[in-house]
Amino acid sequence: MLDEADIKKVLMVVAHPDDIDFGAAGTVARFTEAGAEVTYCLVTDGDAGGFDRALDNGGMAALRRAEQTAAAKCVGVSDLRFLGYRDGAVEQTLGLRRDIARVIRQVRPDLVITSTPERNYARISPSHPDHRAVGGATLDAVYPDARNPYAFPELLADEGLDAWTVREVWLTGGMTPDHYVDVTLTVDRKVAALRAHESQTSHIPDLDGMIKGMLSGHAAAAGLPEGSYAEAFQRVVTA
């Protein structure tokens, strides 16, 4: 398994703006503070989210891209890539696998973090169909697509993107986490990133308390001291 000190490049692949920040922004802040390069790949612009119906089909996508860009700055990330799929209609297609494999070959990460492709029966919110589709397509893009020069040969022939093997994938939102990252020192940066998603979080009366309550539960499961906060993942060795 990867040691955190060996992780120099990280690619986050998620369905919507704010998915990264709810699931892993504290961990992202730890990586960037340690000098790792982190890239965000957003499959949709989140145009079906939010609570301001006046923006339907007239600015929600642009607003959410701007919010995600601001949130990324809170945790030290400036490389964001939006694939432009329609929010709420993502399917685990060959086209999506190719598009994610392209980004993997461009970024050449040691670690990919994405959502679990499995339904979470204990907590339904991570189980949005887009989340599951993106998680499944990302795992397929990691293995076998990105590493196989004969998969999507146009990526090599037309775009000059050589095959790349990702060493490990971390899944968020699953029922069986087996890896915890101590984010006690970066939890405030995580909350700041979530506050940047104003269209999604401004209605939550105690965002800080909600997030810290969830992360303190993860910390307890990890055996960390009282007062600690942690984010939870399932590790998948893919090298």
Residues 6+ apart with CB under 8 A from 47: 57, 60, 61, 64, 86, 87
Q: What is the C-alpha separation between 93 and 29, in angstroms, rounded?
A: 31
**Distance from CA of residue 109 to its chain's centroid?**
14
Residues 182-236 have pLDDT tens digits of 999 999 999 999 999 999 999 999 999 999 999 999 999 999 999 999 999 999 9
Residues 101-137 have pLDDT tens digits of 999 999 999 999 999 999 999 989 889 999 999 999 9
Question: Under a CB-based contact definition with an 8 Å cutoff, are residues 156 and 162 in contact?
Answer: yes
Is residue 40 within a helix (H) or strand (E), and if so which, with residue range? strand 37-44
Task: At 66, give phi and psi (nearest 5°).
Answer: -65, -40
Q: Dihedral through CA 33, CA 36, CA 42, CA 43, nearest 10?
A: -150
222 torsion bin: left (phi>0), alpha (psi -120 to 50), beta (else): alpha
